[in-house]
Amino acid sequence: MNKIQLTVNGSAIEPTVEPRTHLADVLRDQLDLTGTHLGCEHGVCGACTLLLDGAPARSCITLAVACAGAAVTTIEGLDEDEIAAELRVAFTREHALQCGYCTPGMIMSARDLVLRPDHADEHAIRVGLSGNLCRCTGYAGIVRAVGAVIEARRQRGIAAVIGAGRSSLGPVGSHPVAIPTTVSSPQAKHEMAAKQSAVAGMLDILDAPPTRSFDASLTVNAAPAEVLALFADVRTLAACFPGASITGMPAADLIEGELRIALGPLAAVFRGAARIERNDVSLSGRLIGTGRDRLSRSSTSGQISWRMAPIDEGRRTRLALTIGYSLTGPLAQIARDGLVRDLASRLTTTFGQNCERYLNGTLSVAENAAPQRLNAVRLLLDVALSHLSALARGMRRQ
C-alpha cells in the first residue's frame, strides 16, 4: 500500500492506495466523487474523463500512484467554473443529453475544447470530441452546444488559448499548472478581462423571463436623491440585505458575492454573480443574478427591478419592486409561491429598515461588515404566526 498526496477539487488529500489501483476507483470508492463514471474501463469511451493538472485524462486507465503531487479536477469541481456553466446551459438548450451517463466526461472534454479554436468549426468539434462516445444522442445536439459556447465566447472578445493553456508537451500530469504570483502582470490583467467577459456572458445567457414573479413595495424615510445615492453604493446596498455579502467586483456593474441562508439545521450558501443596471433619470434599475449552493446542489437565478417615486412632498420615497426567480434542486421543494411571497415581504421590510438606518447614520458599513446569515426559519415562523392571526380574526368575525 502506498500513501500519495493529491489535490482534488482544490482540497489536499492523502489516500492510501495499492500500486494497481486506478485513479477513478480512488475517486469513486474512497472520496465518494461518483460523478466520474466508469464505462468501458479500457480508456475508449471517455466516460471517466477528468482534468489532471488541467488536461483531460482517462481516469480508468491512470494509476493513482502515478498521479502523486498532481491536481485532479472532477465534474464536481466545476460547479463554479464559468466555462462549465455555459456548457451546462447550452447542453440543456440543445438537448445534448439523454441518459446522461457520458455527460460528465463529455463536459470535461468539451471544456478543454472550448478554449482552443478561434471559431466554432463543426469538423474540429467532432474531432475534438471523438474520444467521448455517446449511445443516445447522435452527437448533433452536443456539437451544436459546444459550438454555441465557442461562438458566444469569441463574440464577447474572449480569445482562443493556444494549447488550452499548456506550454509544454509530455504525459498528462507531468507539468503541474503554475499559480500566478502577481496580480499586476499583463497575464493577470488579461485574466481579469476574461473574467469580466465570462461573468457578463453568463448573465446574458440568464437574461430571460423567470419562472415565477411577483410585486412588492416599501417606503423609505428619505428623499429619492438620498435613496438613489445609496443604490449607487453597491457594497453598502448589499450590507442592507440580510445574509448578503460581496466577494468581488470584476467591473463597476458586475458583482460576485454570496447569500447565506439558515434553514433550521440546514445551511445554504448561494455563491454567484450579478449585474446591476441603473437609470438615474427615471429613478429605476434592475439587478439580474445567478447563484448555486454546492452542498445542496440547488441553483437559483432571477432579477429584481425597482422604481422610485417621491411621496410626502419629496420627503420620503416609495420603492416599487418586481421580483422574479427560478429555483432548481432540493431546496426548490420548499419554495411554495405563497411562502416565497410572504418571505420576500419580510425581507423587503428588513431591507428598507436597514436602508433607513444607513441613511440616518444609526448603522455603519463597518458595523455590518460581516452580514448575519439569513434565518429563514425565523422569518417563516413570523409568516406562520401572521397567517394564524389572520385566521383567528376571520373566525371571530364569523
Domain that holds residue 50: 1-77
- Residue after which a domain boundary falls, among 59, 77, 95: 77
One domain, residues 333 and 248? yes
Is residue 171 domain-resident?
Answer: no
- Same domain for 34 and 61, yes or no, is yes
> CA nearest 27: which of 40, 18, 15?
15
Residue at grid coordinates 430571460: 208
Which of 30, 61, 77 is the endpoint of a domain?
77
- If asked whether residues 326 and 226 sit together in one domain, one would say yes
pLDDT tens, per residue, the chain with 398 residues: 888 989 999 888 999 999 899 999 999 999 999 999 999 999 999 999 999 988 899 999 999 998 988 899 999 999 889 999 999 999 999 999 999 999 999 999 999 999 988 888 999 999 999 999 999 999 999 999 999 999 999 998 888 887 776 655 455 654 444 433 334 455 555 555 555 555 454 445 445 566 777 788 888 888 988 888 888 888 777 878 777 888 777 777 778 888 877 554 556 788 888 888 888 888 998 888 888 887 777 778 778 888 999 999 999 999 998 888 777 777 666 555 665 666 666 677 788 888 888 888 776 554 444 434 444 445 445 545 555 555 556 555 65
- What string of DSSP letters covers 75-132? GGGGTT-HHHHHHHHHHHHTT--SS-SSHHHHHHHHHHHHTS-SS--HHHHHHHTTTS
Decide if 124 is inside a domain: yes
Q: What is the pLDDT of residue 367?
A: 46
Positive or negative, the CA dihedral 177, 182, 183, 186 is negative
- Please state whether beta strands 374-375 and 254-263 pair in parallel, antiparallel, or not at all (unpaired): parallel
Residues 24, 65, single domain; the answer is: yes
Q: Are residues 54 and 108 in the same domain?
A: no
For residues 239 and 264, membership in a common domain is answered with: yes
Residues 99, 50, single domain; the answer is no
- Pick the last residue of a domain from 57, 77, 97: 77
In a domain, 202, yes or no: no
Question: What cell numbers appear for 343 in the block?
Answer: 418571505
Looking at the fold, whether 161 and 223 belong to one and the same domain comes out as no
Number of domains in the chain: 3
The CATH number for 120's domain is: 1.10.150.120
Asked whether residue 197 is domain-assigned, the answer is no
Is 213 among the domain residues?
yes
Sequence-separated contacts (24+) of 270-276 with Cβ below 8 Å = 270/298, 270/300, 271/80, 271/247, 272/300, 273/199, 273/202, 273/203, 274/203, 275/199, 275/200, 275/203, 276/234
Residues 243-271, buried b or exposed e (16+ Cβ, 10 A)? bbbbeeebeeebbbbbbbbbeeeeebbbb
> 85, 202 in Cβ contact below 8 A?
yes
Tell me, yes or no, whether 371 and 226 share the same domain.
Answer: yes
Residue 28's CATH number: 3.10.20.30
